[in-house]
Amino acid sequence: MSDSGNKIIEVARQELGRTDETRYGADSNEAWCSEFVSWVYWQAGFPFTTGPSGRRWHLASVRRIKTWFLNYSTFILKGHPDWYKFTPTPGDYVCFGNDSDPQSHSGIVESLSSNGTLRTIEGNSGDMVRRKSYSNFRTNKNFNKWVQGFGLRCGKRIRIPNGRASASSSGNNRQPYKAFDRRYDTWWRNRTHRGMGQYLQMVWTSPQTITKVSLEYGNHYPVDYRIYYFNGLFWIRTKTIRNNPRQSRAHVWFRPLKNARGLKIECLKYAMDDYFSIREMTIQR
């Protein structure tokens, strides 16, 4: 279990059996499943950030939580190409619904059993914080509400302390010399001529375990690209992305890459002009 997953589940378990919705910021007799999720994340130190003034952690609806994950993290919707591949992590968000109302209930992943049963902790489940179980959750509709998607809340951001960045080519002051500063007013760019094999890469001095990379693009972005990790000796391809639409962010997650010492993005197809840029690369584990 990740560091954040441990903290989130520890907080949620302490609430089992509680029935007082006002504890989580909800009004009396109000549906409070999303308030419970918001409160647990806040108490665990991983709050939402777009709620009302003075209570940014407080998102009071399934729709608002789902929107937050779509904009700031990763949301895997049922039917996504990776729906049958990824593994929900303890502490992740669960969106429930049915055909008529696909986003009507919120929960938190507690565990996933070896036989594929999803176990959750949910607020406002029979007016109480309860444990629930969902067998064959990816396909099973034999519930009042079934799983519609997951928000990936777990993972610890890694501030890479030092290392080096390089590119296959550079020019016009577009060299990636500030790839580690995490500032939004600097850009990490690669000057290319639309040739195959152009890349941006980061190599750091200490090994890391990586589960997710968040990319924030500039005006120029890769449409088709590959991601590699460095094991200290070789670059090993781990993901190929095709037909990436124009967007400000992309999220790529992996089965844990252990003892990785670097990441590389190799561009195969460009969106416009003759270079691509990445404004920020955030690593999580």
CATH assignment at residue 45: 3.90.1720.10
Name residue, tokens 């992996």. Answer: 254
> How many domains does the chain divide into?
2
pLDDT tens for residues 75-134?
A: 888 987 668 877 788 899 999 999 899 999 999 999 999 899 999 999 999 999 999 999
Residues 26 and 75 in one domain: yes
Same domain, 85 and 182: no
Question: Are 125 and 190 members of one domain?
Answer: no
- Position 263 confidence tier, pLDDT thresholds 50, 70, 90: confident
DSSP letter string over 83-137?
TTT----TT-EEEEE-SS-SS-EEEEEEEE-TTS-EEEEESSSSSS-EEEEETTT
Note down the domain range covering 39.
3-151
Predicted TM-score of the model (pTM): 0.64
Euclidean distance between CA atoms 6 and 44, whole angstroms? 9
* Cross-strand pairs, 109: 120
Domain boundary among 126, 151, 176: 151
CA separation for the pair 52, 21 (Å, rounded) = 18
Q: Are 86 and 253 in contact (CB under 8 A)?
A: yes
First to last CA, the chain: 10
Which of 151, 183, 208 delimits the end of a domain? 151
Whole-number pLDDT of residue 88? 84
